[in-house]
Amino acid sequence: PAARQIFVAVIGAGGVGKAFLSQLSQLTKRLSSEPSTPINLALIYVARSSKVFFNEDYSPISISSWESDLASSTRTVPSPTQIADYLSKAPASVILVDNTSNEDVANAYPLFLGKKISVVTPNKKGFSSNLKLWQDIFKAASNGTGSGGYVFHESTVGAGLPVLSTLKDLIETGDEIVKIEGVFSGTMSFLFNSFMPVGGGGGSFSAEVTKAKELGYTEPDPRDDLNGLDVARKLTILARISGLEIESPASFPVQSLIPNELESCKSGDEFMKRLPEFDGEMDKLKQEAAKEGKVVRFVGSIDVAEKDVKVGLEKFDASHPIAALKGSDNIISFYTKRYGSNPLIIQGAGAGGDATAMGVTADLIKVLRLL
Ligand code: NHO
């Protein structure tokens, strides 16, 4: 049979974007030789913040040379509206892959979807900012209440772990979500697993933050992890899928681990330098928990019936699955009516380019099946 043509446009080629393009290259080869329904996947657009490469006539970009093509391109970067216009006139269906954390790109999802362009993304902004944007996205999408493109965002929570798809399956098969609880940040997971491992030990809090930073587990400015906002965004997404109308990640209590006195530090470096002054407070917390035979972890939880969402430090028995987490893994427990007191638990790597890109590529495959 003749191969079906599908175009892929990629915005953002950093850690996740590069890993995605490498997975796309494998997928393209596999799909082109599929015996029953071959698909001709073609990359037609690739961009990072200051560079963009595409051909006016939609001829494909070589997936083996995108990096040099992009580097040598002198094109000016179009606005989201101009991108939507270019992609909507393409002579085949288009899947837009947004691997940025950019707010303007996310704000344009309803526009893309309305023009029948499908969107797959690990960018949390579109799904965890104001409620209106979330509603506009699903009003436009064919897998919402609209008739535009399809939208999937599995990697916005737990990287490639099947968190959102599992939650949707639970709900659509008639289960009732009672509570969702877990460790949703790779950085916070690593920090607390090493600050207070089960069985004792661990360094001072500031020393563990320094170690996490050196190992590349934190954002360049660790305050962006320690303020709890990344976890709050993930909980906003899970709560909305569970049916709670959360206005924004600022609508519920989020405990920041940035000491008040250090809120005003001008740079990440100044913050890191002063953090040891506050080790005493964290040590006190550690000792209190140890006395009760517990450990401290940074968790998020959603009590669906009570409409109660919160993010912060909590104590767990050493035997609790959250206490036993290793490295920078995530763990997400779904307490539901069907599963009773033994929750459905998903656990594994929740950060990193390859693991995050896997969720994006899997979403792209979902769209291919629907188109
Ligand atoms: P990078 O490496 O900064 O890459 C961003 C790229 O976007 C760059 O190429 C930049 O030039 C481009 N860009 C920015 N604005 C643009 C614009 N307007 N137009 C064109 N290009 C633009 O970021 P990453 O790490 O590759 O992340 C990409 C997206 O994936 C972000 O939205 C991020 O939040 C999301 N994401 C990443 C991870 C991860 O592990 N790297 C995860 C999930 C989602 O599960 C992971 C996670 O939550 C990590 C978290 N820190 C944790 O749990 O500790």
DSSP state letters, 114-167 = HTT-EEE---SHHHHS-HHHHHHHHHHSTTTTSSS--EE-GGGTTTTSSHHHHH
Q: Is the CB of 128 under 6 A from ligand 1?
A: no
Instruction: Report the share of the chain in percent with pLDDT over 90.
Output: 90
Question: In this predicted model, what pLDDT tens digit does every residue of 147-179 receive, in sequence order?
Answer: 999 999 999 999 999 999 999 999 999 999 999
How many other CB atoms are found less than 10 A from the CB of residue 2? 6
Question: In this predicted model, what pLDDT tens digit does every residue of 80-124 receive, in sequence order?
Answer: 999 999 999 999 999 999 999 999 999 999 999 999 999 999 999
Strand, coil or helix: what is 6? strand
Cβ atoms 205, 193 nearer than 8 A? no
What spacing in Å lies between the alpha carbon of 127 and ligand 1's midpoint? 15
pLDDT at 233: 96
Could you tell which of 11, 16, 102 is best to mutate to test the pocket of ligand 1, judged by most ligand atoms within 8 Å of the CB? 16
**What is the distance between the alpha carbons of residues 108 and 129, in angstroms, rounded to a whole number?**
13
pLDDT at 213: 86
Q: Which residue has the tokens 């970009």?
A: 61
**What is the distance between the alpha carbons of residues 327 and 142, in angstroms, rounded to a whole number?**
39
The mean of the pLDDT values for the chain is: 95
Confidence of residue 215 (pLDDT cuts 50, 70, 90): confident
Residue 19 has pLDDT above 70, yes or no: yes
pLDDT at 189: 95
CA 345 to chain centroid, in Å, comes to 18
pLDDT at 34: 85
Q: Catalytic annotation on 168?
A: no
Question: In this predicted model, what pLDDT tens digit does every residue of 22-75 receive, in sequence order?
Answer: 999 999 999 998 888 899 999 999 999 999 999 999 999 999 999 999 999 999
Cβ atoms 302, 317 nearer than 8 A? no
Confidence of residue 221 (pLDDT cuts 50, 70, 90): confident
Q: Is the CB of 82 under 6 A from ligand 1?
A: no
Cβ atoms 326, 348 nearer than 8 A? no
305 CB contacts (<8 Å, ≥6 apart)?
178
Confidence of residue 351 (pLDDT cuts 50, 70, 90): confident
Let me know if 39 is exposed, middle or buried by CB neighbors in 10 A (0-12, 13-18, 19+). Answer: middle
pLDDT at 1: 67
Residue 9 has pLDDT above 70, yes or no: yes
pLDDT at 111: 98
Strand, coil or helix: what is 198? coil
- Note whether ipTM > 0.90 here: yes
Among residues 124, 234, 286, 294, the one annotated as catalytic is 234
How many other CB atoms are found less than 10 A from the CB of residue 266? 7
Residue range 253-259: mean pLDDT, rounded: 95
Name residue 303's beta-bridge partners: 179, 308
Could you tell which of 99, 156, 234, 329 is best to mutate to test the pocket of ligand 1, judged by most ligand atoms within 8 Å of the CB? 99
**Stated pTM of the model:** 0.95
Confidence of residue 216 (pLDDT cuts 50, 70, 90): confident
Atom nearest to 101 CA in ligand 1? 32
Q: Is the CB of 314 under 6 A from ligand 1?
A: no
Question: In this predicted model, what pLDDT tens digit does every residue of 281-326 receive, in sequence order?
Answer: 999 999 999 999 999 999 999 999 999 999 999 999 999 999 999 9
